[in-house]
Chain A
């Protein structure tokens, strides 16, 4: 009889529940506090805790100055709620210089950008493009599509050379990037007649405290000739001892000896 060895929970990241951001809100787009924001291009107030990027003003960016909490200030999450999308590109800046600004044809400064082109009101798949800009020289690193919606949270998490992109809690892109230091930020590129509104904007640390391992005693199995079913007690979302409380459970991995049996996300 085959025997499965349940090796436990190996990976967890900010995904669910009680994660606490350092900042939630939006700059005063007309007069951003220079102690907090480096503004490039032009955004406009977009309502309560939101910023609008409008076609008559062109692209804009707001780079966040304060040190992000956590073990490494260069590892962080950027999140924003998608309020209005009409022919334009939402942007999260990562590892950015203070003059970082992506445009429809290029960029200035240095940054990694996660650019989400939405078309009209997220109708149809959205295009996610990851770009690198080094002193104005732009390289496109990756591109994919994913289906989003108005009101969703667009999230990018970066630590070390790892970059993950989420639509709400669904991961839509995982890759590596070359930059390891720099500020987070956000911005937009409106299309020819487009506009975007995003907010509130959120910046927070990369949580490094792993959640507790599942209890081996809680694992129950059902074994058939060609199928094995496993059930276990889910682990708590927040072990509660980290200074950045709010570790989330991203996935469970199942191993048989040294072989990983699943690569898909296993969450109830």
Chain B
């Protein structure tokens, strides 16, 4: 009996030390990621910036979710003395939750697009975008896009060679390794 107890005690004390250390994934490899070829939208003029398709909506969903989370965790205005000390007048509350936020609520704790970046194609008409999401369902709409000019690749499923071969038809020197996106 004493041996068993000693053995259990030994495992309890020392097993964690010999388990392989678990490292966090690199910021450039975290979450679900798509590489896509999509159209550019917008004129670039006031109130209408040039931006790739999909990313505005995906980012808005993520920001709305963040706003809800912050609103739930934020103490009543006035408790942050540092921020208010320099305020010459009272300011508006932060949490202005869009009315449409609830529509996306069933997704993960971090819905929408966490990050994205883009490169304009050689003809200047389309964009190659790198999108990151914590919930793969954030990609549902773009994965369902069947327009013939749209290309959608999923990192981890589609090979680097396949992605580069196709997208180099639109951007001559495209290299996947030169298109990273780090996300916290």
Q: Which of B10-34 contact A (CB under 8 A)?
A: 20-21, 23-29
User: Which of A87, A144, A150 contacts B91, CB < 8 Å?
Assistant: A87
List residues of chain A with CB within 8 A of the CB of B83. 84-86, 120-121, 150
Q: How far is the CA of A192 from the CA of B92 in the complex (A)?
A: 8
Q: How far is the CA of A119 from the CA of B83 in the complex (A)?
A: 11
Q: How far is the CA of A141 from the CA of B83 in the complex (A)?
A: 30
Select the stretch in B42-50, B150-158, B163-171 that faces chain A: B42-50
Report A53-88 CB contacts with B as 1/0, cut-off 8 Å. Answer: 010000000000000000000000000000111110
How distant is B104 from chain A, measured CB to nearest CB, in Å? 16
How distant is B93 from chain A, measured CB to nearest CB, in Å? 8
Secondary structure dominating the interface of A: strand
Asked whether, in the complex, the Cβ of B116 is within 8 Å of the Cβ of A142, the reply is: yes
List residues of chain B with CB within 8 A of the CB of A175. 117, 180-181
Interface contact tally, CB-CB below 8 A:
141
List residues of chain A with CB within 8 A of the CB of B73. 123-124
B49 nearest CB neighbor, chain A only:
A138
Residue in A86, A105, A120, A173 whose Cβ sees the most chain B Cβ within 10 Å: A120
Chain B interface bracket (under 10, 10 to 19, 20 to 34, 35 or more): 35 or more
Q: How far is the CA of A52 from the CA of B86 in the complex (A)?
A: 10
Check B138 for interface membership: any CB of A closer than 8 A.
Answer: no
List residues of chain B with CB within 8 A of the CB of A127. 59, 63
Select the stretch in B1-9, B64-72, B140-148 that faces chain A: B64-72
Q: How far is the CA of A147 from the CA of B46 in the complex (A)?
A: 29
List residues of chain B with CB within 8 A of the CB of A188. none
Q: How far is the CA of A172 from the CA of B69 in the complex (A)?
A: 21
Asked whether, in the complex, the Cβ of B182 is within 8 Å of the Cβ of A140, the reply is: no
Select the stretch in A4-12, A193-201, A203-211 that faces chain B: A193-201
Asked whether, in the complex, the Cβ of B87 is within 8 Å of the Cβ of A195, the reply is: yes
Asked whether, in the complex, the Cβ of A195 is within 8 Å of the Cβ of B23, the reply is: no
Check A183 for interface membership: any CB of B closer than 8 A.
Answer: no
Starting from the known contacts A127-B59, A144-B115, 9 additional A-B residue pairs (CB-CB under 8 Å) come to A83-B86, A84-B87, A123-B73, A123-B94, A124-B70, A130-B117, A139-B51, A144-B116, A263-B28
* Chain A residues proximal to chain B, CB less than 8 Å: 46-47, 52, 54, 83-87, 105-106, 119-121, 123-125, 127, 130-131, 134, 136-147, 150, 171-176, 191-195, 197, 226-227, 262-264
